[in-house]
Structure 1
């Protein structure tokens, strides 16, 4: 079959781009329309791509009836806290930081399969009085892709009546990034950065010291040129399992002495490199091994 003329290929490409642009515009409209149904919202705002888009859109629709609130605890990396603060300031968001007490809750520190439930419960305990004072509902930056993962925090959200506007607007993670790009948000391509406690092997206690080691080690790895990385803590926080994208594994091996020094310098006794490469939620593989 002969190739189509260049003019036809260009028309097809243009049509594809127009269709994609239209889909993104539709996603923006759906999100804004969903938020217009609220009198006021308190956005649980970590500064990641999802919550940043939600906070920005809520502020655009509701103005000062939208409040972005960042939960501050040992599980929030200082770099993420600073990024969230800078984004809020750059876009004129009404923004507060509140301290949450999940680290003081034995159920959270025990780090069972339901750790995230207790973390989110602490978050809602902090946000509920603010929402009540504003006559607002609590809004989470959950997207459609999150619904298929192991996320006990969603149960806590349902119990507290929190809403998920991104889900209700039908936005996937890819949609969140595309919409953020269209709106000119710097978070459009921001790598996912879940809480530091998600790096601690289930069953090992979550302590401020282990979280500090993880934060320090990941910061050192980023300085070595690994912007996407995870340091998973095992064996009571003595063993670090380093994950980088599989394309970066050869370079990590070349820099193994510096990687090892960076991780052990953060307080770990041992450093290992996971040859499977980075993948979100890798520790969920341990869930079937936990006591029922």
Structure 2
């Protein structure tokens, strides 16, 4: 199916909904959904961002600015997944409990405000990865227009560019809890430590990155083609000192490089006999 056809189908889907509340993180997927929903529904579309310790303040600022650029009404709510030991113990299905909390917050809000649908930014590629949060959203009646129409991540960026959204190349930024290996307890202090470390690196000009945290060790992941430049251009002693001031003891660089969902590779070993 041509991309123009998929865009028309997305518009038709929202026209049928008549009103929609968008679970809006400010990432490229949910922002595209918000843009199309607003273009079709106008003030009958509402973008809602959930704020918790696992969301970087900079990401909230981006989400707010992007919503204003689109013109869509934007509301902020607070979620409390950090109060759930099923989440903070960081099991392999942690995302299930996160999305359960999110949609248990959004669904009553939607009903209260008169929105019959809660929609999210899940795309067609997400359906082929390990995403337990998708099940939680489905159980609560959420819809995923991008996945329903078969829009892939690459097509999300293409459509965003075609629609003139300046952030179409924005790197993926999943919640900070994804920086920890399964089984390691998540705390607010650890989330803040990782968040500050990533902000420090972004301020140095490295946008597409992760700081994985395991115990007292920080492992920096960058795209493989950027690793040599990083080593040559970064003041490594200052970086190490900064990370240690944040609470890390050891600072390492992942020589394999950044790959989305890398922590899920451990699941293959867990599942192996």
The TM-score normalised by the length of structure 1 is 0.88
**Aligned equivalent of 1:207, options 169, 181, 187:** 187
Q: Does 1:32 align with 2:11?
A: yes
Give unpaired runs (5+ residues) of structure 1. 1-21
Give unpaired runs (5+ residues) of structure 2. none
Larger radius of gyration: 1
Question: Residue 266 of structure 2 aligns with which residue?
Answer: 286
Distance in 2 of aligned mates of 1:158 and 1:99: 21
Q: Does 1:60 align with 2:9?
A: no
Q: Does 1:95 align with 2:95?
A: no
What are the Cα deviations for residues 90-120 of structure 1, in whole angstroms up to 9, with x where unaligned?
Answer: 2221110000000110100000011000000
How many residues matched? Answer: 269
Distance in 2 of aligned mates of 1:113 and 1:268: 24
- Structure 1 stretches of 4+ with a deviation exceeding 4 A read 288-292
**Aligned equivalent of 1:156, options 104, 113, 136:** 136
Question: Residue 229 of structure 2 aligns with which residue?
Answer: 251
Distance in 2 of aligned mates of 1:243 and 1:91: 32
RMSD across aligned positions (CA): 1.6
Secondary structure of the corresponding residue to residue 167 of structure 2: helix
Distance in 2 of aligned mates of 1:135 and 1:167: 21
1:275 Cα deviation (Å)?
A: 0.2
Distance in 2 of aligned mates of 1:253 and 1:63: 48
Q: Does 1:271 align with 2:217?
A: no
Aligned pairs for 1:138-177 (under 5 A) are 138-177=118-157
User: Does the 8 Å CA contact 2:21/2:115 hold for their aligned counterparts?
Assistant: no
The TM-score normalised by the length of structure 2 is 0.94
**Aligned equivalent of 2:27, options 27, 42, 48:** 48
1:24 Cα deviation (Å)?
A: 3.2
Distance in 2 of aligned mates of 1:214 and 1:162: 30
